[in-house]
Structure 1
Amino acid sequence: MAYFRRTGPASFRPTEHVGGAWSTDEQHIAPALGLLVHVVEQDRDVRRDDRLAVGRLSYDIWGTVPMEEVETSVRVLRPGRTIELVEATLTHAGRTVVTLRAWLMQRSDTEAIAGTGSAAIPAPDAVPAWDPTTVWPGGFIASAQVRRDQAEPGRAVVWARTDVALLDDEPVSALARTAGLLDIINGMTVRADPREVAFPNLDLTAHLAREPAGGWLGFDAAVSFGPSGLGVTSSVLHDEHGHLGSMSQALTVRQG
Structure 2
Amino acid sequence: MTTGIPAPDSYYERIDEHRYKPTAHAGGAWDPDELHFSPLGGLVAHALDRHTASRADSGLLLSRISYDILGRLALDECEIRVETVRPGRTIELLEAVVLIAGRPVVRARAWLLAALDTGDVAGGADERLAPPESLPRRRLSDVWPGGYIASLDVRAVTTPRPGRATAWVSTPLDLVAGEPSSPLASYLALVDTANGIAVRQPPTAWMYPNVDLTVHLHHRPEGGWTGLDTTVTFGPTGQGVTSTVLHDVRGPVGHAQQILTVRPITAD
Q: What TM-score does the superposition give when structure 2 sets the normalisation length?
A: 0.92
Aligned partner of 2:46 in structure 1 is: 38
Listed one character per residue, the Cα deviations across residues 48-92 of structure 1 (whole Å, up to 9, x for unaligned) are 422420000111011122221100001111111111011011110
Equivalent positions of 1:89-238 (< 5 A) are 89-148=97-156, 149-238=158-247
Instruction: Could you tell me which runs of 5 or more consecutive residues in structure 1 were left unpaired when the two chains were aligned.
Output: none
Identity %: 45
Secondary structure of 1:184's aligned partner: helix
Aligned counterpart in structure 2 of residue 13 of structure 1, from 10, 18, 21: 21
Secondary structure of 2:224's aligned partner: coil
Q: Distance in 2 between the 1:68 and 1:151 partners?
A: 33
Q: Distance in 2 between the 1:37 and 1:237 partners?
A: 17
Q: Distance in 2 between the 1:69 and 1:125 partners?
A: 35
Does the Cα contact within 8 Å between 2:127 and 2:251 map onto a contact in 1? no
Aligned counterpart in structure 2 of residue 248 of structure 1, from 253, 257, 264: 257
Aligned partner of 2:68 in structure 1 is: 60
Segment drifting more, 159-168 vs 143-152: 143-152
How big is the alpha-carbon RMSD for the aligned residues of Structure 1 and Structure 2?
Answer: 1.2
Does the Cα contact within 8 Å between 2:125 and 2:252 map onto a contact in 1? no
Q: Distance in 1 between the 2:188 and 2:160 partners?
A: 25
Q: Following TM superposition, by how much is the alpha carbon of 1:126 offset from its aligned partner in structure 2, in angstroms?
A: 4.4
Aligned counterpart in structure 1 of residue 37 of structure 2, from 29, 32, 43: 29
Q: What TM-score does the superposition give when structure 1 sets the normalisation length?
A: 0.96
Task: Count residues with an aligned counterpart.
Answer: 256
Q: Distance in 2 between the 1:151 and 1:49 partners?
A: 42
Secondary structure of 1:178's aligned partner: helix
Listed one character per residue, the Cα deviations across residues 167-203 of structure 1 (whole Å, up to 9, x for unaligned) are 1111110000011101011011100000000000010
Aligned partner of 2:3 in structure 1 is: none
Instruction: Could you tell me which runs of 5 or more consecutive residues in structure 2 were left unpaired when the two chains were aligned.
Output: 1-8
Segment drifting more, 104-113 vs 4-13: 104-113
Q: Which amino acid aligns with 1:214?
A: G
Q: Following TM superposition, by how much is the alpha carbon of 1:123 offset from its aligned partner in structure 2, in angstroms?
A: 2.2
Does the Cα contact within 8 Å between 2:58 and 2:89 map onto a contact in 1? no
Q: Following TM superposition, by how much is the alpha carbon of 1:151 offset from its aligned partner in structure 2, in angstroms?
A: 4.8
Secondary structure of 2:159's aligned partner: strand
Does the Cα contact within 8 Å between 1:150 and 1:189 map onto a contact in 2? no
Runs of 4+ in 1 over 4 A off after TM superposition: none
